[in-house]
A and B are shown apart, each in its own frame.
Chain A
């Protein structure tokens, strides 16, 4: 909150001629710090430094995704030059639904075409473009990795956020993958932080002793909490973001958020330079990273096969 106050002050101190970016964020500054850093880096690569060349109006939903449309409305009223909607499909959809007329640059894990955010990757159409991190696409890979770690386990828990716009498609893909892999899925739902504990406790009680998290920003930004719970209930789990193994979780597989947020910054800069969103194709993140925490694996009594370890982009020991 202190940081938010500081940002607000700096945005007020800006020169009137500077362009203004509206930054619509689903979380709090603390949870979004690493993403914001990557965004600033990209913005700098495009030639913009906050306070020097550009002012940024931040709107923090602090995890209350329902507030996003209202916050987007505030940015419309503020008449910002470009709206950056990072951190998932709900943010982009909220900005689009709020009727932003200026360019929207999104950053999400889902497929923007499937979500109806853009017409096509090469020609987004309308006033919206951005970066997709592939995290949603690779949900089945997480199931595969968990299956490989626990080949004997025939039922795997899958945690989904029913409020997520990508929940349905992800479950569909996971079901198809489960069939291929020959496992059963136990679908668990959580859309609030308070529900996390019950998810873990229910799995810990039952034979299904592993959790595969679908790609969802709400989960991604609560990696620490999820890692704590996984350790507490001794449940092997895999999520989309490296924050999870870093915080003590077992492993993660998903798009590199540093790359996606940095590119969102570059696109915001290019839009400020006058480029049309229709000329900026949606970029897919090229790097899907696989991070494992061997310490946690040992703690949980599981061992990764050498081929898995050799394929990991980062191994926490």
Chain B
């Protein structure tokens, strides 16, 4: 129940506030870090790919320029009209040096073919065919080195023709056919990260080198070259790498670099999954950290919210219990702050409430046998030792109805109770007015004590006046009763003397009472009193003599007393 309550009210507010206070900056910080990490990594990747593209282009360029420089050795010596066996030796040696060269043609300074050697076809020696108008030669004369467009041998193997002239016209020119399939050795050795690769496209965008040779052998086909060309075009001339998809549809990051000479493009491509692996790793790290921090923030917020709301809950619970009457309950909060102070003031309040409650209970108890004003007096004194047992002089007053037993047997119980309540109502008012102490009821009789527990001035006189007033009032009632045909009378007996007074009984059933022969005497005098009579002993009579008009009734034999006792009456 408490747990459920926890999720209403203050707890969720505190929890949310504290949680956000911790988690929000963490998330912001993590996001910013991730963003900058991403940007840095992109910049790094761009730089790396740029360097790799340039170095790949340099390697491809080396492949071509190596062949060109080998060819340079064939155009060193001026031509004569005689056949030269040495040139064939040089050409065949070049075959061994440059495995990519498929055929070589040597042209003299007049543009005539002097030697043709091939790995596959038959050699031609001194054919003296005029080849001066061929584009290769024209191009070479214009630029010293001339590169043809890539052609595809039998529609499959990419071939390049290189033409080279010497530094003077007398040395002639050389034309070489190069099988570009052998760039595979170069291109497959280029490492771009772990799984990246490099490929080469010619100017129209046909694939001429790729680590997968089977793609190169279909480079002439549009479907093969198209995705590579798309990637090359996506990179464009601007800075920064482009993203695209490779042959298998994987997203890749790519950069390009030009190959000087044949006007090719080298593209290096790295799968994004690998290129961004550090980013992803950093993101994963950040996410895990954020998740951890969020959980930590949650725990922290929970703990703090608990710390803040727990005292409030204890206070709430405590006040409820105190409100329900458990004044002995104490709220235990040891936070050393306002809550603890609040709890101790609650505890103080509970203590005071308990005292007030005790006070109320005591008054209620006293009021049962003391006149209310006396009870208040005792209570205000804050001490009920006045009720402790002691021996003191008291005046005991007994009174009861005559003929009540016979009356009660003859009428309905309702009538009996109505008579009794009228009777006691009258007596109660009189007892309260004279501040006498009501000791007990029994049927139609009652016992009243004067001068105990609270002493009064002239107790005997007060008791006599009390009895007189009782007799007057009850006789008033009796007049009414008689008119209804009820034959009852009322008699009172008083006696004064020393008696033991104090509380008797157990737990909540405590009564205040008097014990002593004076009590018996008063009871006997009451019993012997006739209707309308007030009988008192000599002690009482002596105390009021001269103040009230007494009648000496003479000595009467009273039950329980050996000698006859002088009895006095009073007229009213």
Please give the distance in Å from B181's CB to the nearest CB on chain A: 6
Residues 164-183 of chain B: 1 if any A CB is under 8 Å from the residue's CB, otherwise 0? Answer: 00000000000000010110
> Please, which residue of chain B has its CB at the minimum distance from the CB of A121?
B156
Q: Are B122 and A141 in contact (CB under 8 A)?
A: yes
Comparing B211-219, B256-264, B452-460, the segment that makes contact with chain A is B211-219
> What residues on B are CB-neighbors of A287 within 8 Å?
99
Q: Is A140 an interface residue when CB atoms closer than 8 A count as contact?
A: yes
Residues 113-124 of chain A: 1 if any B CB is under 8 Å from the residue's CB, otherwise 0? Answer: 100000011110
Q: Are B92 and A283 in contact (CB under 8 A)?
A: no
Q: Is A19 an interface residue when CB atoms closer than 8 A count as contact?
A: no
> Please, which residue of chain B has its CB at the minimum distance from the CB of A148?
B123
> Please, which residue of chain B has its CB at the minimum distance from the CB of A280?
B214
* Complex: A134 Cα to B221 Cα, angstroms: 23
Q: Is B96 an interface residue when CB atoms closer than 8 A count as contact?
A: yes
Q: Are B122 and A286 in contact (CB under 8 A)?
A: no
Q: Is B81 an interface residue when CB atoms closer than 8 A count as contact?
A: no
* Complex: A251 Cα to B88 Cα, angstroms: 19
Contact check: which of B89, B122, B157, B213 meets A307 at CB < 8 Å? B89
* Complex: A177 Cα to B218 Cα, angstroms: 31
Q: Is B193 an interface residue when CB atoms closer than 8 A count as contact?
A: no
Q: Is A188 an interface residue when CB atoms closer than 8 A count as contact?
A: no
Q: Are A144 and B123 in contact (CB under 8 A)?
A: yes
> Please, which residue of chain A has its CB at the minimum distance from the CB of B219?
A122
Chain A interface bracket (under 10, 10 to 19, 20 to 34, 35 or more): 20 to 34
Contact check: which of A122, A134, A141, A284 meets B220 at CB < 8 Å? A122
> What residues on B are CB-neighbors of A308 within 8 Å?
92
> Please, which residue of chain B has its CB at the minimum distance from the CB of A120?
B155
Q: Is B95 an interface residue when CB atoms closer than 8 A count as contact?
A: yes
Contact check: which of B93, B99, B214 meets A311 at CB < 8 Å? B93
Q: Is B13 an interface residue when CB atoms closer than 8 A count as contact?
A: no
* Complex: A10 Cα to B221 Cα, angstroms: 43
* Complex: A188 Cα to B171 Cα, angstroms: 46
> What residues on A are CB-neighbors of B121 within 8 Å?
140-141
Q: Is B85 an interface residue when CB atoms closer than 8 A count as contact?
A: yes
* Complex: A138 Cα to B99 Cα, angstroms: 16
Please give the distance in Å from A253's CB to the nearest CB on chain B: 9
* Complex: A305 Cα to B83 Cα, angstroms: 15
> What residues on B are CB-neighbors of A282 within 8 Å?
156, 217
Q: Can you add 12 more A-B contacts, CB < 8 Å, to A181-B122, A311-B93? A: A120-B156, A121-B157, A122-B156, A122-B218, A140-B121, A144-B122, A279-B214, A281-B218, A284-B157, A288-B119, A310-B93, A311-B92
Closest 7 CB pairs of A and B: A311-B92, A281-B217, A307-B89, A121-B156, A122-B156, A307-B88, A122-B218
B contacts, CB < 8 Å to A? 85-86, 88-89, 92-93, 95-96, 99-100, 119-123, 154-157, 179, 181-182, 213-214, 217-218, 220-221
